[in-house]
Chains A and B, each alone.
Chain A
């Protein structure tokens, strides 16, 4: 059974800092890994999708990488802003997604 772990559980950084969020998964037989952000009381907003044949995806200040063989993905956020404060979730799967419990990010102005 797929298990997804996200480290750290919480992270607080000053504005402007670059940061990395980590996601690990136990079963490498995945088709997709997707990163989301969730604001309090809201749904999940898709940030980046990495298909199993890809190594990374970029969108603006965000870059996500995938290493299937080691069961790891990272989300890199450059020049963090207070608006980036949210909980970040990764979902990995071959069909449905398995989720970690997320990393709660706070960017301090």
Chain B
């Protein structure tokens, strides 16, 4: 069974540009999470989808970040316009059933560098 996949693995962009990250969860997993780790800090939650609905987006840093999950399958996270402090590794995770009793499976991450 394929795990969580993320694309691209690396992205280097200039400040002010737009970047879109993609996450494909494990097939059949209704719950999808985005997390981020900036340099030297712990991994922090961004938002949680249940199917195509945003269950919790309390971790989104500001309105330059837009997450979507059309059709309840893959998800995208768009940063527009990107700022220097957005640099970090963005992780996606998915779970199968009820979120509070399920193991989270993580993707390999997308390393974003904003110059």
CB distance from B110 to the nearest CB of A (A): 10
Question: Out of B41, B42, B104, which one reaches A4, CB within 8 Å?
Answer: B42
Question: Out of A42, A49, A94, which one reaches B103, CB within 8 Å?
Answer: A49
B1-41 interface code vs A (CB 8 A; 1 in, 0 out): 00010000000000000000000000000000101000001
Chain A interfacial positions (CB closer than 8 Å to B): 4, 31-32, 34, 36, 42-46, 49, 51, 89, 91, 94-102
Q: Is there a chain A Cβ closer than 8 Å to B81's Cβ?
A: no
CB pair B104 A101 closer than 8 Å: no
CB pair B48 A43 closer than 8 Å: no
Q: Which residues in B have their C-beta under 8 angstroms from that of A45?
A: 106
Q: With contacts A32-B101, A96-B45 known, is A44 near B33, CB below 8 A?
A: no
Q: Which residues in B have their C-beta under 8 angstroms from that of A99?
A: 35, 42-44
